[in-house]
A and B are shown apart, each in its own frame.
Chain A
Amino acid sequence: MNPEVMIYNVLSLAVPFSVAILLAALGENFNQRAGVFNLGCDGIMCMGAFVGFMLPYSLKAGPLAPYGNLLGVMGALAAGALLGLLFALVTVTFRASQGIAGIGLQMLGWGLSGTLFRHFVGGVTGVEGILAMPIPYLSRIPFLGGVLFNHTPLAYVAFLLVPASWFLLYKTPWGLKVRAVGTHPRAADTMGISVDRTRYQALMLGGAMAGLAGAYLSLCQARMFSDDLVAGRGFIAVALVYFGRWSPLGILGGALLFSIAQSFQLSMQVWGIKFPYEFAVMLPYVLVIVVLALARKARQLGPTELGKPYNREMRF
Chain B
Amino acid sequence: MNKEKLVYGGAVIVGVSLIAALLVALVLFSIGASPLATYKTILTGPLSDVFGVTEVLVRSVPLLLVGLGIAISFRSGILNIGAEGQIQMGVLASTAVALALPGLPRGILLPLVLLAGALGGALWGGIAGWLRARLQVNEILSTVMLNYIAAQVHTFLLRGPMLDPNELETGSGTPQSMRLPETAFLDQIVPGTRLHTGLILALVAAVLVYVLLWKTTLGYRMRAAGAGAKAARYAGIPVEKYLVVAMLLAGGFAGLAGAVEVTGVHHRAIEGISSGYGFAGIVVALFGMLHPGGIVPSAIFFGILLIGADMTQRSAGVPANMVLVLQGVIILSIVSAQSFLRNPYAQERLFRWLSGFRPKKGAQP
Nearest CB on A from B74, distance (A): 8
Question: Contacts A111-B328, A282-B153: A289 and B343 contacting too (C-beta < 8 A)?
Answer: no
Q: Are A94 and B325 in contact (CB under 8 A)?
A: no
Contact partner of B140 among A39, A94, A109, A118, CB < 8 A?
A: A39
CA distance A286 to B343 in the complex (A): 39
Q: Mark A283-310, 1 if CB is under 8 A from B, else 0.
A: 0011011001100100100000000010
Nearest CB on B from A111, distance (A): 3
Q: Are A104 and B335 in contact (CB under 8 A)?
A: yes
Which chain B residues border A286 with CB–CB below 8 Å? 145, 149
Which chain A residues border B325 with CB–CB below 8 Å? 107-108, 111-112, 115
Q: Are B144 and A107 in contact (CB under 8 A)?
A: no
Stretch at the interface among A55-63, A139-147, A205-213, A231-239: A231-239
Contact partner of A99 among B79, B152, B332, B336, CB < 8 A?
A: B79
Q: Is B172 an interface residue (CB 8 A)?
A: no
Which chain B residues border A289 with CB–CB below 8 Å? 131, 137, 141-142, 145-146
Q: Are B137 and A281 in contact (CB under 8 A)?
A: no
Which chain A residues border B140 with CB–CB below 8 Å? 39, 99, 102-103
Q: Is A248 an interface residue (CB 8 A)?
A: no
Q: Are A107 and B27 in contact (CB under 8 A)?
A: no
Chain A residue with minimal CB distance to B138?
A: A292
Contact partner of B332 among A95, A108, A311, CB < 8 A?
A: A108
Say which size band chain B's interface belongs to.
Answer: 35 or more
Q: Are B279 and A107 in contact (CB under 8 A)?
A: yes
Q: Are A278 and B323 in contact (CB under 8 A)?
A: no
Residues of chain B from 331 to 345 with CB closer than 8 A to chain A in the complex: 331-332, 335-340, 343, 345
CA distance A286 to B127 in the complex (A): 12
Chain B residue with minimal CB distance to A120?
A: B31
Q: Are B324 and A114 in contact (CB under 8 A)?
A: yes
Q: Is A227 an interface residue (CB 8 A)?
A: yes
Give the most central of B32, B141, B144: most A CB within 10 Å. B144
Contact partner of A111 among B31, B152, B327, CB < 8 A?
A: B327
Contact partner of A96 among B79, B153, B336, CB < 8 A?
A: B336
Question: Contacts A115-B27, A289-B142: A109 and B328 contacting too (C-beta < 8 A)?
Answer: yes
Q: Are A90 and B336 in contact (CB under 8 A)?
A: yes
Question: Contacts A94-B346, A107-B324, A114-B319: A100 and B152 contacting too (C-beta < 8 A)?
Answer: no
Which chain B residues border A120 with CB–CB below 8 Å? 31
Dominant secondary structure of chain B at its interface with chain A = helix
CA distance A278 to B140 in the complex (A): 23
CA distance A74 to B279 in the complex (A): 31
Q: Is A43 an interface residue (CB 8 A)?
A: yes
CA distance A276 to B158 in the complex (A): 13
Chain B residue with minimal CB distance to A111?
A: B324
Q: Is A106 an interface residue (CB 8 A)?
A: yes
Q: Is B205 an interface residue (CB 8 A)?
A: no
CA distance A90 to B140 in the complex (A): 19
Chain A residue with minimal CB distance to B322?
A: A115
Q: Is B220 an interface residue (CB 8 A)?
A: no
Q: Is A4 an interface residue (CB 8 A)?
A: no
Which chain B residues border A104 with CB–CB below 8 Å? 327-332, 335
Contact partner of A278 among B31, B137, B155, CB < 8 A?
A: B155
Q: Mark A68-107, 1 if CB is under 8 A from B, else 0.
A: 0000000000000000001001100011110111111111
Q: Is B286 an interface residue (CB 8 A)?
A: yes
Q: Is A316 an interface residue (CB 8 A)?
A: no
CA distance A172 to B267 in the complex (A): 62
Contact partner of A288 among B135, B141, B279, B317, CB < 8 A?
A: B141
Give the most central of A99, A299, A309, A314: most B CB within 10 Å. A99
CA distance A52 to B31 in the complex (A): 18
Q: Are B328 and A96 in contact (CB under 8 A)?
A: no
Q: Are A90 and B335 in contact (CB under 8 A)?
A: yes
Q: Mark A111-127, 1 if CB is under 8 A from B, else 0.
A: 11011101110000000
Nearest CB on A from B187, distance (A): 35
Contact partner of A285 among B149, B155, B156, B160, CB < 8 A?
A: B149
* Extra contacts besides A90-B335, A107-B328, A112-B27 (6): CB < 8 Å: A101-B336, A105-B328, A114-B319, A116-B30, A276-B156, A289-B142
Can you offer 30 A-B residue contacts whose CB atoms are under 8 A? A94-B335, A96-B332, A96-B338, A97-B335, A99-B140, A103-B282, A106-B328, A108-B324, A109-B328, A110-B324, A111-B321, A112-B27, A114-B321, A115-B325, A119-B32, A235-B145, A239-B145, A276-B156, A278-B152, A278-B153, A278-B156, A278-B159, A279-B156, A282-B153, A285-B149, A286-B149, A289-B142, A292-B142, A311-B345, A313-B349
Binding site for B on A (CB under 8 A): 39, 43, 86, 89-90, 94-97, 99-112, 114-116, 118-120, 227, 231-232, 235, 238-239, 242, 276, 278-279, 281-282, 285-286, 288-289, 292-293, 296, 299, 309, 311, 313-314
